[in-house]
Chains A and B, each alone.
Chain A
């Protein structure tokens, strides 16, 4: 895995303190949202646990001894939620789904692969799509099932696919 390129803010100590100045805070939050999504994308993380996240390299830069407080992380997560990139899995907001790509965007990628390979009108199991040999070099390889389903549902609402039930799980037919 290629090493992750941290933006300049990551090594700037104040970046880990929620800024009192409103304009500066806006820039800070935008940068954090970007960074969080890039990081999760790079590590192919689809869910985050808030307490674990606080200790991860993302929110804790050991080299400069700075880390985001839990409140700060909550503020950032709220921003991400507002932008449609995050969904809470529980009422207590301890765990969340992180969508560095939205379901529609995944759907588009999957459909492109399907039509490029002339496989429209074929049926696939979810497993084949996310973990099959044929999709190994695709970006959606390794996509977690919940996300894959959402992507396919997005395609379904566009009339490009239909999610069906197979013997041992779900599948999809592309049009």
Chain B
């Protein structure tokens, strides 16, 4: 129709046209959906192909994992966000970090009686690698950090304290506030610290310094040395470098809590 009509006939025609448009609309939506389904199907099979091709690489190469994670981050995907998920299941990324998390917990538990639940990322890394053996998959510190973040999110009492360019990994829910953290960072340099050093280094009152150091003693994170030249020293087993070269002795093994 080229002319708008008036009158009953015109109204009827209009109604007919509307109905037709509506139908067309439905048909259009269905079309779109069908097209989208097809696209998704193609997308899914590409992803599956990608997954099977790279599953091996994910497990074998820490470098690949870093790049993969960064790629996911750019497109707003967190492959570790949920245990069950395409990435987690298809690529086994979740498995990898889950297993690593379990290993990290084991190492931390084994050493807790020594260091009170605080360990340097370096030492953790060394021991995890050792535990995996010669032919095991490569694990980087980046992997450890991710696994620990995941553990932290799951509420396992894990935390990471930045010290001297790296981290101290905390595996027990000891109450460590900013004051404690900052003293740990100060102690990192020599593995020990005195009340005066804390007082001068952080410009605190003597009482505050003493209070924090006493707390570290109470939490089993620090030991007291009264035979030092000058004032008593507070030493942290976690920062004691000699530890990293020695294994747990059988006697220590007997002392470990189940």
Contact = CB atoms under 8 A, between A and B. Distances in A.
Interface of A: 7-8, 11-17, 19-21, 23-24, 27-28, 30-31, 34-35, 38, 65-67
Given A8-B242, A12-B242, A13-B228, A21 B218 contact: yes
Contacts of A19: 217, 223-224
Contacts of B255: 27, 30-31
Contacts of B233: 13-14
Contacts of A38: 251
Contacts of B235: 12-14
Interface string B224-244: 111110000101010010110
Contacts of A8: 114, 240, 242-243, 246
B67 interface: no
Contacts of A16: 225, 227
B249 interface: yes
25 contacts: A7-B246, A7-B252, A8-B240, A8-B246, A12-B223, A12-B237, A12-B240, A13-B192, A13-B225, A14-B225, A14-B233, A15-B223, A16-B225, A17-B223, A17-B225, A17-B227, A20-B224, A21-B218, A23-B220, A27-B113, A34-B249, A34-B251, A38-B251, A66-B225, A67-B227
B223 A14 contact: yes
A31 B224 contact: no
B258 to A, nearest CB: 15
A131 to B, nearest CB: 31
Q: Is the interface of A mostly helix, strand, loop or mixed?
A: helix
Contacts of B228: 13
A38 B251 CA distance: 10
Given A7-B249, A31-B252, A13 B242 contact: no
A9 B251 CA distance: 12
Interface in B176-218: 192, 217-218
A12 B191 CA distance: 10
Nearest to A24: B220
A21 B220 contact: yes
Contacts of B240: 8, 12
A16 to B, nearest CB: 6
Given A12-B237, A24-B217, 16 more contacts: A8-B114, A8-B240, A8-B243, A12-B223, A12-B242, A13-B192, A13-B225, A17-B224, A17-B225, A17-B227, A19-B217, A21-B220, A30-B255, A31-B255, A35-B251, A38-B251
Interface in B97-155: 113-114
B227 A65 contact: yes
Nearest to A10: B242
A11 B113 CA distance: 17
A23 B112 CA distance: 12
Contacts of A34: 249, 251
Contacts of A31: 251-252, 255
B231 to A, nearest CB: 13
Contacts of A7: 246, 249, 251-252
Contacts of B252: 7, 31
Contacts of B223: 12, 14-15, 17, 19, 24, 28
A27 B223 CA distance: 11
A14 B224 contact: yes
A21 B116 CA distance: 12
Nearest to A5: B249
The 9 closest A-B pairs by CB, nearest first: A14-B223, A34-B251, A14-B225, A13-B225, A17-B226, A8-B246, A14-B235, A21-B217, A66-B227
